[in-house]
Chains A and B, each alone.
Chain A
């Protein structure tokens, strides 16, 4: 056994499709992981342990007790401290592998920042929980010719599909447009098992390593059901009239099809992203909000409780309003307490 096969990545190097050459490619790669929830905590852990040279972790949210059932990197202390997921994940992963570069970004992925977030990436890992962000990733990755892996999970079922610009169909060849709000099931109504999300993330990362070592993506969309123990692959054609990969119209990236209010999957919460970014002094605002309810600031975010709702505010003005899934009600609370 030579040095590489005996070292940190030994077992992976012994796996023939990877080998020493493949491992060198993995170590030289940059991968951006968007979302650090149930999918992203597992995918980031796999890719960190596999030795991806540079991992960029992006998430907009903070850790809560209700996440621990399926978000495998986090613990109760993270939830008690309400750490941003990007921070908590980065801390855990740095302890796991100090030989790679791990960067984190507490950010919502939006038209104005998505290209900067995926820049310099050899691959983008979709670990999001909504279609709108996926459509945005699809646009940004097609435009910048970056492969990405669509992965989604709900209940006991999951799907995984590699999207390689110029080679495979894209997400909009599969789902032509965003369904209207409320038209499709979410984790709120269907729930999700940790075995589903962990299986989806594992299949996604096997595909990631395939692509990073320079192999062709597997074809088609894999569908599985962990409860019924079924796996099937379905084949989608590239559509010449696909708005994104066929016609080159990036409607989500240019903002024409993008909304700034999002109901968060499984959270009884709505996110509000003000159209214009601002820089808020959260410490000062926490003092002011003490008059109206219970306000606290933990160095990363402000939490404010009143009227049975909780508003969590980030320095750039983005807020997560808990206690409602009504977008209009959330906007109203934002306007009343934070201002527009």
Chain B
């Protein structure tokens, strides 16, 4: 299945093509979860804190569906 991923704030550095804000199109096996996707992108365990699908928060064990748009966030702590 094909999903689209957008990385936010400091996670942009994990963009495989280095294009930061550009959505990433990924091909994943059926039944893949948000965790699988985070691992595939090489994002550290403590760096991703929230994932949203169509702007709504989802747990990392959420099973992705064809065409999902996933937004992944780190904790933002500066000021």
Contact = CB atoms under 8 A, between A and B. Distances in A.
A155 B78 CA distance: 9
B57 A236 contact: yes
Contacts of A151: 79
Contact of A154 (B46, B47, B49, B76): B76
B49 A128 contact: no
A184 B52 contact: no
A179 interface: yes
A109 interface: no
- Indicate the member of A154, A176, A186, A233 with the most B CB atoms within 10 Å: A154
A35 B79 contact: yes
Contacts, number: 99
Contacts of A175: 49-50, 75
Contact of B57 (A183, A186, A232, A237): A237
Nearest to A126: B79
A37 B79 contact: yes
Contacts of A38: 79
B71 interface: yes
B21 interface: yes
A235 B10 contact: no
B10 A190 contact: yes
A333 interface: no
B57 A152 contact: no
By DSSP majority rule, is chain B's interface helix, strand, loop, or mixed?
loop
A114 interface: no
B79 A157 contact: no
Interface in A78-130: 126-130
A232 B10 contact: no
A308 interface: no
Interface string A123-143: 000111111001000000000
- Closest 3 interchain pairs by CB? A154-B78, A185-B10, A129-B79
27 contacts: A40-B79, A130-B77, A131-B75, A152-B77, A152-B79, A154-B9, A155-B10, A157-B8, A174-B49, A175-B50, A179-B47, A179-B75, A184-B47, A184-B74, A184-B75, A184-B77, A185-B10, A185-B74, A186-B77, A223-B73, A228-B21, A230-B21, A232-B71, A235-B55, A237-B57, A265-B78, A266-B78
